[in-house]
A and B are shown apart, each in its own frame.
Chain A
């Protein structure tokens, strides 16, 4: 066995170690005025898998370079060491399984470079469930992502000033959450997506689909031929059905900014009403609800909700013809709310 193979084998076996615990590590370099501290760290290994990795209170600072990195906590579970990480093929094949990871988390992390502070309140991947080498369930969170306004200012000074006026902060804070649940036996797929910007607005999207074939999804996720992938997605969409969808928009200041230079509310209501009447001529009840919701939102500027629920799942490929024929409201009920 050559040296490289021997090293790979040792890494896959974690050099025979089952646990490494480190406490109170401090490192300082005097000339660079740099230092690094770690309060505690743990690695647990079993059966070629890192079953638990956690690191708490890691700080890295360099006065000379003007950088500081702080990580409150970082952790992961389930990393498969048994893979050959030098093989591109193995890497692609296992990417869909996240290399065995069932949990990833970073809490209270910040990176400061020359006075500009980037931060993450929480980044996590949780409740991951694999089936047949594919992720079928999991929740991803990215909360409190701080981007310094100085970075936005470099791209667009006016936007940065507007943001600063509303947030009264040096940072722009984003949040993103995503949840998926693919019930392969039932062929249903539920997804939630939440996106928000502090002091501006947030939007939540819920979708429930049916008729999603696991075999086709797996084929698409393991292929690296873009034409084949497109062909497979064509097949998938043929049978794909909508069970329900809802979009919840919650406003903080964004509507005020966007509508600051728009015509007054009554004009906007009238203009949007005309458009809705044109588009939804065959659906007078839904058109009335939508117009009421828009009026409510323009007056209150607080929240807007659109929801659609099918009596039984409706094929996406049939929705256009159902809409054109005026039969869409027979199979899907719509709700609009604005306040």
Chain B
């Protein structure tokens, strides 16, 4: 009986040790991946700083998690998210999800603030996506457009998104809702699902204030 208990204790210790080792390995890999993202972003946007709080990894799911991420330009935060979840391998980004996203931009005539409950990408073929990003970074819109038709994305999801336009304290308008694009491949989109509202409080678009609300629009090819 003692032997059995001892055997079980050794097995449990090995399993725990293995788990801790793999967990640490996954965490290190995740940290390395996030550091790569940091380098890419800071190299792409002049004067930018990519910050984050904590990196963790779930090797069972193959998922990396980064908390409290933010991108700031010349000291001002332009976009932040409570959490970033990443899952994938060298060829396919299986899942990318940003939760509780907040951002702001100063446009020519108004200030734009953006919030989203979640932004997600699933099953992105990285080869063409990287080529597209490189073309955008190189400032080559024609190549970027032609590469766009090669882009393969399983799903692009914008949930609970809200774009608010303001001039100082005065609200000009807002756009809110959910958008899901599925099956983006060969320059076509298999399905588009949209719901939400557009509000122009001061008639900035056509002179009269208007509001459009849509419970659901589904389009498929």
Contact = CB atoms under 8 A, between A and B. Distances in A.
A95 B212 CA distance: 37
B215 to A, nearest CB: 3
A31 B221 contact: no
Contact of A20 (B203, B209, B210, B218): B218
Contact of A27 (B207, B210, B217, B219): B210
Given A17-B219, A18-B220, A29 B213 contact: no
B214 interface: yes
B208 A30 contact: yes
A19 B210 contact: no
B208 A31 contact: yes
B209 A21 contact: no
Contacts of B212: 25-27
B221 A16 contact: yes
Interface size bracket, B side: 10 to 19
Interface residues of A, number: 17
B219 A20 contact: yes
Nearest to A26: B213
A22 interface: yes
Please indicate which of the listed interface residues B208, B209, B219 has the most CB atoms of chain A within 10 Å of its own CB. B219
A32 B213 contact: no
Interface in A17-46: 17-32
A23 B219 contact: no
B58 to A, nearest CB: 38
A24 B209 contact: no
B195 to A, nearest CB: 8
Nearest to B209: A30
A25 B215 contact: yes
A24 B220 contact: no
B185 interface: no
A26 B198 CA distance: 10
Given A18-B220, A24-B213, A25-B213, 15 more contacts: A17-B219, A17-B220, A19-B218, A20-B219, A21-B218, A22-B218, A23-B215, A23-B216, A25-B212, A25-B214, A25-B217, A26-B211, A28-B211, A29-B210, A31-B209
